[in-house]
Chains A and B, each alone.
Chain A
Amino acid sequence: MGTMRTVPDFSVVRSGHEVQIPEQVSVPWQGLHRAVSRAPTIPGPAPAGRGGAAPRMRSGAAAAPRHRRGGAAAAAPAGAAGGGGGRRGRKKMPGKLKVKIVAGRHLPVMDRASDLTDAFVEVKFGNTTFKTDVYPKSLNPQWNSEWFKFEVDDEELQDEPLQITVLDHDTYSANDAIGKVYIDIDPLLYSEAATVISGWFPIYDTIHGIRGEINVVVKVDLFNDLNRFRQSSCGVKFFCTTSIPKCYRAVVIHGFVEELVVNEDPEYQWIDRIRTPRASNEARQRLISLMSGELQRKIGLKVLEMRGNAVVGYLQCFDLEGESGLVVRAIGTACTLDKLSNTSAFLPACNSPSKEMKESPLVHPPSHGCRSTHNSPIHTATGSRLTQNFSVSVPTLIYTGMGSGSAGKEGGPFKTLLRQQTQSALEQREFPFFTLTTFPPGFLLHVGGVVSARSVKLLDRIHNPDEPETRDAWWAEIRQEIKSHAKALGCHAVVGYSESTSICEEVCILSASGTAAVLNPRFLQDGTMEGCLEQRIEEASPPGCGFCHIPYDELNMPFPAHLTYCYNCRKQKVPDVLFTTIDLPVEAIVVGKGCLIQARLCRLKKKAQAEANATSISNLLPFMEYEVHTQLMNKLKLRGMNALFGLRIQITVGENMLMGLASATGVYLAALPTPGGIQIAGKTPNDGTYEQHISHMQKKINDTIAKNKELYEINPPELPEEIIGSPIPEPRQRSRLLRSQSESSDEVTELDLSHGKKDAFVLEIDDTDAMEDVHSLLTDVPPPSGFYSCNTEIMPGINNWTPEIQMFTAVRVSRLSNINPTNQTLNKNFNDLCENLLKSLYFKLRSMVPCCLCHVNFTVALPEDELVQIAVTAVAITYDKNQALQANKAPTEKSQQRASTDNEEQLQFPLELCSDPLSSQPFSPAKEVLEGASSHTGIPAAQRDRCNSWIELIKLKAQTIRRGSIKTTTSLEKASPLAEGYLRHRSVPSCTNSTVSVVKMTPLSFLPGAKITKYLGIINMFFIRETTSLREEGGVSGFLHAFIAEVFAMVRAHVAALGGNAVVSYIMKQCVFMENPNKNQAQCLINVSGDAVIFVRESELEMLPVQPSAAAPQHTSSAGDVTT
């Protein structure tokens, strides 16, 4: 009984300890050579840097484009590649960028004497700058500039942001900057997205935040066939969404693309000592904007090389390495996407297979059952490779619940065939990784388990120009490891793949994780195998449970695991527990509802320097991983569930501690065996009171499990005994989970307290620590009634969402104020912090009940000694309780439900309803309102009176969309600079007409009750905010509250300017907050991204196709016209 698994063998292989000391770099700003590769045709070497953004980039000596793995020369000698950028014979000027500055409003008072501002605007792109006239003495200037035209090449178009600076003219001294707007014009570069950017943008200043707004119109004319200009990758679409975007069809999913660019961080440059922090932060914003553009272009090139046309699941991150530089890296999945233009053509084709799939599990007669067993599904693997720099490869745990047994008879041959074909399809790829988390039906065949790898690196303090590829090598190493782990699990691919870093001083932990999987080759190559294999695959693996079936060759098991026959189809083997990083497949059959499960952990670490520090961290990591896993497993059992989706483990490194936070969504998969309970085993059985205590705890645990089963409606159908009874010979039926510290526990008393015949997990209580742990298990409070939460896209078991959503970000920084902190007190503090935060969220959102917090994303940072920062972004969605009840009562479904029947349409392949009139026109909801706006601008007094209530008036005003609809009463103001004063006597200024259009934001890839009709482009923004008057701005909370609100506002403004009304797959990737209360200062960096879209309510959609298509004029051009 009970597979005794002691602590896994964490044999840390420390290799490559030599720390390289690169030669001194003579020129301080030369930095890494890989900065930017520039077109040589740009007139002059631009020694002062392009766009002011990169004075420290080696613009003259454009580094050759890197061929890191292509075998070509990696780093051309600096300076030698002067003409390197032109290796493909590029021509200049394939495009013209046109910018018009229309007006400003609510500008700050810059001249105290007159309480007014003499504003003008600088428009800068590349190294060309235009200026508007000064509009004197107004806080609402009307520049109405000419079209500023920039003749640029497409590479520039992709890399550079458009920089708009609003300044106050000063005759006697230097002009004061009011603020800036950066506009990423990338969305204008591919035909299907936006054609014009037009609207009010907040004017942003790193010190003062938002200071008024500016109305700008931007257009791009592209001249040539862009394919001839291979340096650019215009036309490649980028999506943050980690599934195939709605209204597209995946023709081919090519696979992994990655790239990184490195530069010096302006914050840490010598010049910083003589310039203001403001200038430094602006330089940083500019630089990162530029680097993001470059990175995106380079990724795009790779996609084109793979003959794809899009990147899905694009994830771009910044590593602020401090003195050693700034790394911008991105990963994504290259695809060839087809815009769904004709619904009818795709409806039958896509619909039928999915329907078949849904029904197929029922067709299969149940075969032999098997006994459920439990094991500790941990696989230890060690991997390390030599690197030039100091690095410790951390032994990795593969979280899986799979193991061996004999395969189902029918499955065998197909599996082999399948494996061969998939293999051939994937072998060509260096890394068969996919950043997707949701897949087209039939794409994902089997899931092995979570694979992850971590590595501790010391950041090299001095850039070595001869080693520009260090960061690349680091990641390549980790990816190799992931790949080999996947192989060990019998999988050829890794899905739900992501990478992250945690940096503290000079130590950096690189992490990668994903889910080992077997994929259907039909999506991976150009239509070769379409049809032939498909049929059989579907037969072989019923989709409701097929992904749970082990992909593994059971006879070659590298680690012990326990298998049973699938509880759904009875043909294939399944593990007892399944951990994955992906979303719950739509076809999965689940019982009851899911819930958010978190494992939280702190470990103290001695303060140390350099290598000693890295070594101690890498020694701690395996234990942390193990404990995180243990916690997850225990909490999963405590909820009576058997699978985790969306698992994300974050290990954060601080000065004197490490923190681990794992989040996942637990569910009960019908295909997997019922989990056993948890049992506690005491160490000192002779002590009577102790025994009593143990049994008391046991009772509490049992009660909790029962309560949870009720709460999450987990009532799996009882299986007849004979089906379960058929045994696979297994010596032990129960596993014991040991804590990592309890290696010394040699003498163990086994208590058989298992309820009924169910196998149970044994928790051994061998010391007070363990007791604490058991207690902490029980401290997780379930959400209040009416609330559910998950960290996946959809909540398993809830399928009747209403359109009401609320996206939010909450940030907390807490001081762990213990004088002598122990791991236990820290754990408790951390646990309380997370639980209180959740509680607070539930309270805040109580008016939305019944509702579900979806995509709950926790990020932990350790900004300073004793300070823990937690940032949460999630969306609350209200659901219809009555419908939910009905659905549950449906007799046929009983308690077995698909993950989400309603959302299937939205999450699956884009099957339906991109009906003709919608997809063929650039539909914009703004259009109608805009038409309305023209008639409402300056609502006449008479009409005003007729408004029944004043609320209607306000609504009417609110409807008057702001896009371009500038007030029409400007003639007077323009005529006289004194207009403002004069106006007061004239009449009420009618400036209240243009209001703001609503932009929804959500971390999900869909909007409930709505159809996304168009993707307008990626939003990827980086902001820095600083203050030197922290107290005056309401302290740290006031400062950050305002900043986050400003970031939201700027995202919304950009989306609205693109003509969109929502951001999907929104994510706050970074929130770095630093304070110095003594100096009354604080600073924060925030990086967000998402996809700008146009959505239409389903209710409106039903009416739309009736309208003749002629009713939708080009909204884009009209918007521009209205403004004039």
Chain B
Amino acid sequence: MSSDLDVFVGNTTLIDEEVYRLWLDGHSVAEAVARRLRGGVLEREGTSVAVLQSDTRDHYRTFQMLERLLHAPPRLLQQLLFQIPPERQALLIQRYYAFDEALARELLGKKLSKGTKKELDEVSARTGVGIRSCRRQFDNFKRVFKAVEELRGPLAENIQQLFLLPPALARDYAAIVFFANSRFETGKRRLQFLSFADFAACAQSLMGHWSQGALAPEAAEPDGDLPKSFLQDLKELKVLVADKDLLDQHKSLVCSALRGKISVHNELEANFKALSRALVNVGGKLTHARDVRDFFVDLVEKVIEPCRSDKWSPGDLRLFLTHYTAAPRNLPGFRHQALWERYMAAISACLLRMYHD
């Protein structure tokens, strides 16, 4: 005797966290049942496999019906079809939008397009995340991206508002959107040592210090785009390396301030000009989209790798960046101090975050 039709509907929608997890991971009903069996639920509850199957199917159906609503979480709160207590709604949303960092790392800076989606098979193989889960997470990224792309104001807050995500998760999504928007290159071999968390922290620093929203709350442009005028202004900073006098003065100010304070003083003296050129030029190139892509590559190649080969400690780098940023204040004829500090604040934060093995 087979059950053709078998449903259970509660006035309060039952959410089984374990089954939700399995569903999110992209397992089929049969796989989910097998996993639950291995979890020993049969022994604990003294029930039968048929009951477990029926239960799993019920939950899967519920989740499938909920998925449509989860695509626009405020609707989940407004909808009348499922009566779900607020903390359960929060759980549903959070788990649905939670992502595997390994996957996010792979996709950082990539265009969230159909083409990328087609490559998910490889990503899945590399990261060990199930292909269905990969696709769902990719769709989440894309959905969030589309939703906030053209909104003004702070990216993370917009995401939090539109998708009702916990603040930390919203900030991570903001980073993903930021990377997708600026298409930063993150896939190069020399960037492989950087984790998703590193990039997310960098994205936050960049948005926090550079975006329009950081200056005026009523900015006209979305946070995801770095303000054009600001990037344009960055060209003015080139004077620091172009002007030989300024460069020399800058070097002497920094070197004298750091004398005895860092272990790599000799190396600093030898490399200062190269470092300074790299640091300033990274900013100067940002007006061109192509160069923007190389932002992180440049930082690693021209700053982090030389420092690392000279065995700078993170403390050394920190001290150097502090003084390097502060010194131009005392340079005669340098009129871009505010711009410089705004620029360097983000660059310093990124470098410090990225400076590890």
Contacts A210-B81, A962-B78, A1034-B61 given; does A812 touch B152 at CB 8 Å: no
Q: A974-996 CB contact bits vs B (8 Å, 1 = yes)?
A: 00000000001111101110111
**Which residues of B sit under 8 angstroms from A1044, Cβ to Cβ?**
7, 9
Contacts A106-B75, A811-B5 given; does A202 touch B10 at CB 8 Å: no
Query: Do B55 and A1048 touch (CB < 8 A)?
Result: no
Query: Do A941 and B157 touch (CB < 8 A)?
Result: yes
Q: Could you tell me which residues of chain A, from 946 to 1000, have a CB within 8 Å of some CB in chain B? A: 949-951, 953-955, 957-958, 962, 984-988, 990-992, 994-996, 998-1000
**Which residues of B sit under 8 angstroms from A991, Cβ to Cβ?**
74
**Which residues of B sit under 8 angstroms from A867, Cβ to Cβ?**
4
The one of B57, B151, B165 that contacts A950, using a Cβ cutoff of 8 Å: B165
Q: How far is the CB of B223 from chain A (nearest CB, A)?
A: 12
B8 within 8 A of A: yes
B206 within 8 A of A: no
Q: B226-258 CB contact bits vs A (8 Å, 1 = yes)?
A: 000000000000000000000000000000000
Query: Do A996 and B80 touch (CB < 8 A)?
Result: yes
Distance A999 CA – B2 CA, assembled complex (angstroms): 35
Query: Do B74 and A992 touch (CB < 8 A)?
Result: yes
A367 within 8 A of B: no
Please count the residue pairs between chain A and chain B whose beta carbons lie under 8 angstroms apart in the complex: 180
Contacts A951-B90, A988-B161 given; does A810 touch B9 at CB 8 Å: yes
Query: Do A840 and B55 touch (CB < 8 A)?
Result: yes
B54 within 8 A of A: yes
Chain A: interface residue count, which band?
A: 35 or more
Query: Do A1041 and B7 touch (CB < 8 A)?
Result: yes
The one of A810, A843, A955 that contacts B47, using a Cβ cutoff of 8 Å: A843
Query: Do B80 and A210 touch (CB < 8 A)?
Result: yes
B3 within 8 A of A: yes
B214 within 8 A of A: no
Q: A263-301 CB contact bits vs B (8 Å, 1 = yes)?
A: 000000000000000000000000000000000000000
Query: Do A995 and B78 touch (CB < 8 A)?
Result: yes
Q: Chain B residue with minimal CB distance to A833?
A: B1
Query: Do A1048 and B151 touch (CB < 8 A)?
Result: no
B6 within 8 A of A: yes
Q: How far is the CB of A141 from chain B (nearest CB, A)?
A: 15
**Which residues of B sit under 8 angstroms from A984, Cβ to Cβ?**
150-151
Q: How far is the CB of B356 from chain A (nearest CB, A)?
A: 30
Q: How far is the CB of A978 from chain B (nearest CB, A)?
A: 15
The one of A996, A1034, A1050 that contacts B83, using a Cβ cutoff of 8 Å: A996
B283 within 8 A of A: no
Distance A869 CA – B162 CA, assembled complex (angstroms): 43
Distance A1048 CA – B83 CA, assembled complex (angstroms): 9
Q: A215-234 CB contact bits vs B (8 Å, 1 = yes)?
A: 00000000000000000000
**Which residues of B sit under 8 angstroms from A208, Cβ to Cβ?**
none
The one of A812, A842, A962, A999 that contacts B6, using a Cβ cutoff of 8 Å: A812
Distance A1041 CA – B13 CA, assembled complex (angstroms): 12
Q: Which of A674-682, A743-751, A801-809 is the interface stretch?
A: A801-809
**Which residues of A sit under 8 angstroms from B47, Cβ to Cβ?**
784, 839, 842-843
Q: How far is the CB of B32 from chain A (nearest CB, A)?
A: 15
Contacts A843-B55, A996-B83, A1041-B61 given; does A1048 touch B1 at CB 8 Å: no
A129 within 8 A of B: no
**Which residues of A sit under 8 angstroms from B57, Cβ to Cβ?**
1037
Q: Could you tell me which residues of chain B, from 51 to 105, have a CB within 8 Å of some CB in chain A? A: 51-52, 54-55, 57-58, 61-62, 64-65, 74-75, 77-83, 85-87, 89-90
Distance A1083 CA – B47 CA, assembled complex (angstroms): 33
Query: Do A832 and B6 touch (CB < 8 A)?
Result: no
Query: Do A1042 and B65 touch (CB < 8 A)?
Result: yes
Query: Do B80 and A954 touch (CB < 8 A)?
Result: no
Q: Chain B residue with minimal CB distance to A1056?
A: B80
A567 within 8 A of B: no
Distance A13 CA – B278 CA, assembled complex (angstroms): 108
A417 within 8 A of B: no
Q: A853-881 CB contact bits vs B (8 Å, 1 = yes)?
A: 00000000000000101000000000000
B153 within 8 A of A: yes
Query: Do A1052 and B51 touch (CB < 8 A)?
Result: no
A705 within 8 A of B: no
Q: Could you tell me which residues of chain A, from 797 to 850, have a CB within 8 Å of some CB in chain B? A: 806-817, 829, 832-833, 836, 839-844, 846
Q: B1-26 CB contact bits vs A (8 Å, 1 = yes)?
A: 11111111111111000000000000
B45 within 8 A of A: yes
B28 within 8 A of A: no
Q: A1030-1064 CB contact bits vs B (8 Å, 1 = yes)?
A: 00001011101110111011101100000000000
B314 within 8 A of A: no
Query: Do A812 and B161 touch (CB < 8 A)?
Result: no
B50 within 8 A of A: yes
Distance A618 CA – B165 CA, assembled complex (angstroms): 64
A625 within 8 A of B: no
Query: Do A1037 and B1 touch (CB < 8 A)?
Result: no
A1001 within 8 A of B: yes
Q: How far is the CB of A103 from chain B (nearest CB, A)?
A: 12
A683 within 8 A of B: no
Query: Do B5 and A1040 touch (CB < 8 A)?
Result: yes
B160 within 8 A of A: yes
B182 within 8 A of A: no
**Which residues of A sit under 8 angstroms from B160, Cβ to Cβ?**
950
**Which residues of B sit under 8 angstroms from A385, Cβ to Cβ?**
none
**Which residues of B sit under 8 angstroms from A843, Cβ to Cβ?**
45, 47, 51-52, 55
**Which residues of B sit under 8 angstroms from A990, Cβ to Cβ?**
161
Distance A840 CA – B90 CA, assembled complex (angstroms): 27
A96 within 8 A of B: no
Q: Chain A residue with minimal CB distance to B220?
A: A985
Query: Do B77 and A954 touch (CB < 8 A)?
Result: yes
Distance A142 CA – B22 CA, assembled complex (angstroms): 41
Q: How far is the CB of B264 from chain A (nearest CB, A)?
A: 42
A471 within 8 A of B: no
A213 within 8 A of B: yes
Q: Could you tell me which residues of chain A, from 67 to 120, have a CB within 8 Å of some CB in chain B? A: 105-106
The one of A833, A840, A941 that contacts B8, using a Cβ cutoff of 8 Å: A840
B48 within 8 A of A: yes
A135 within 8 A of B: no
Distance A844 CA – B7 CA, assembled complex (angstroms): 11
B167 within 8 A of A: yes
**Which residues of A sit under 8 angstroms from B90, Cβ to Cβ?**
950-951, 954
Query: Do B77 and A1045 touch (CB < 8 A)?
Result: no
A1073 within 8 A of B: yes
A200 within 8 A of B: yes
Q: Chain B residue with minimal CB distance to A1038?
A: B61
B306 within 8 A of A: no
Query: Do A813 and B5 touch (CB < 8 A)?
Result: yes
Q: How far is the CB of A334 from chain B (nearest CB, A)?
A: 31
Query: Do A988 and B55 touch (CB < 8 A)?
Result: no
Q: How far is the CB of A855 from chain B (nearest CB, A)?
A: 13
**Which residues of A sit under 8 angstroms from B6, Cβ to Cβ?**
811-813, 1037
Query: Do B83 and A817 touch (CB < 8 A)?
Result: no
**Which residues of B sit under 8 angstroms from A1034, Cβ to Cβ?**
61, 64
The one of A106, A944, A1073 that contacts B78, using a Cβ cutoff of 8 Å: A106
Query: Do B77 and A992 touch (CB < 8 A)?
Result: yes
Q: How far is the CB of A1047 from chain B (nearest CB, A)?
A: 9
**Which residues of B sit under 8 angstroms from A1000, Cβ to Cβ?**
11
**Which residues of B sit under 8 angstroms from A842, Cβ to Cβ?**
47
Distance A1044 CA – B150 CA, assembled complex (angstroms): 39
Distance A697 CA – B264 CA, assembled complex (angstroms): 91
Give the 4 A-B residue pairs with the shortest CB-CB distance, closest first.
A992-B74, A813-B5, A958-B86, A808-B10
**Chain A to chain B contacts (Cβ below 8 Å), 7 pairs:** A808-B9, A811-B7, A949-B166, A950-B164, A985-B151, A987-B151, A1045-B82
Q: Which residues of B are interface residues toward A (Cβ below 8 A)?
A: 1-14, 45-48, 50-52, 54-55, 57-58, 61-62, 64-65, 74-75, 77-83, 85-87, 89-90, 150-153, 157-158, 160-162, 164-167
Besides A814-B1, A839-B48, A954-B77, 6 other CB < 8 A contacts? Answer: A784-B47, A954-B86, A984-B151, A992-B164, A1045-B9, A1049-B83
